[in-house]
């Protein structure tokens, strides 16, 4: 099955957050075929990282509910480069210190709010994939896809039909 990313980008990244111990089969199905998975925290169950790793390599950060020995090995933030995407992940966007552009990041991924959003400003794409776990606050259940197109980061929010 092809990933749901628009017209076959070179590399498609699945972005998920706030699963809170519930890794829905709809999320696993939607992520099939991606080249990489980024989890922006509030995982809730370390086995879920293993399940995601059966689909694609996973990079994950610790969220505020991630506690215990298993979570200690997860960083609170991570910066990585995938193709031309210079990505910084932090669970709570409000905790971000510094200027993404000055740091060289063209994508900042966060979770925490459970509100899916894509914003662009000052050369940075701000992506919150929303929450893919238990429904909260009457918000949709979502994840996101991220890719590079014409040397620019592009993203889309993908609702999960649950």
Give the Cα separation of 32 and 150 in Å (integer): 24
Domain annotation covers residue 91: yes
Tokens of 5: 């990313």
Residue 5 falls inside a structural domain: no
Range(s) of the domain holding residue 64: 13-159
Tokens of 59: 């990079």
Which has more pLDDT, 30 or 98? 30
Alpha helical stretches, state H, 54-151: 69-72, 100-103
Domain count, the chain: 1
Which residue bears the tokens 């210079």? 86
Question: What is the domain-level CATH number for residue 90?
Answer: 3.60.21.10
Q: What is the pLDDT of residues 13-66, one digit of tens each?
A: 999 999 999 999 999 999 999 999 999 999 999 999 999 999 999 999 999 999
CA neighbor of 153 nearest in space, from 101, 117, 107: 107
- What pLDDT sits at residue 1? 35
What is the number of alpha carbons within 13 Å of residue 32 lying toward its C-beta? 8
Query: Given pLDDT bands bounded at 50, 70 and 90, which one contains residue 3?
Result: very low
Question: Has residue 151 been placed in a domain?
Answer: yes
On whether the CB atoms of residues 42 and 70 are closer than 8 A, the answer is no
Lowest mean pLDDT among 7-16, 88-97, 100-109, 126-135: 7-16
Give the model's pLDDT for residue 11: 87
Residue 3 belongs to some domain of the structure: no
Domain-located, residue 103: yes
Backbone angles phi, psi at 147, to 5 degrees: -155, 170
Residue length, the chain?
162
Give the HSE-up count for residue 46: Cα atoms under 13 Å, Cβ half-sphere.
8
CB 61 within 8 A of CB 78: yes
Per-residue confidence (pLDDT) for residue 37, from 0 to 100: 98
Look at residue 4 and tell me if it is in a domain.
no
Residue 5 has pLDDT above 80, yes or no: no
User: Is the predicted pLDDT of residue 118 greater than 60, yes or no?
Assistant: yes
pLDDT at 48 (0 to 100): 97
- Residue 157: the pLDDT is 97
In a domain, 1, yes or no: no
pLDDT band per the 50, 70, 90 thresholds, residue 162: confident
pTM for this predicted structure: 0.93
8 in a domain, yes or no? Answer: no
Distance CA 5, CA 129 (A): 14
């Amino acid at each position: 099955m092809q990933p749901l990313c628009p017209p076959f980008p070179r590399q498609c990244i699945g972005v998920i957050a706030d699963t809170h111990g519930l890794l829905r089969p709809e999320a696993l199905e939607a992520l099939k075929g991606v080249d990489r998975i980024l989890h922006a925290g509030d995982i809730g169950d370390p086995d879920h990282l293993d399940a995601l790793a059966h689909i694609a390599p996973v990079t994950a950060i610790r969220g505020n509910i991630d506690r215990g020995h298993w979570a200690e090995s997860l960083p609170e933030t991570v910066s990585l480069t995938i193709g031309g995407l210079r990505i910084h992940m932090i669970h709570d966007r409000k905790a971000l210190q510094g200027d993404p552009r000055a740091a060289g990041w063209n994508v900042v991924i966060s979770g925490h709010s459970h509100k899916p959003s894509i914003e662009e400003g000052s050369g940075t794409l701000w992506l919150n994939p929303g929450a893919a776990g238990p429904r909260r606050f009457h918000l949709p259940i979502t994840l996101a896809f991220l890719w590079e197109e014409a040397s620019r980061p592009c993203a889309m929010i993908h609702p999960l039909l649950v």
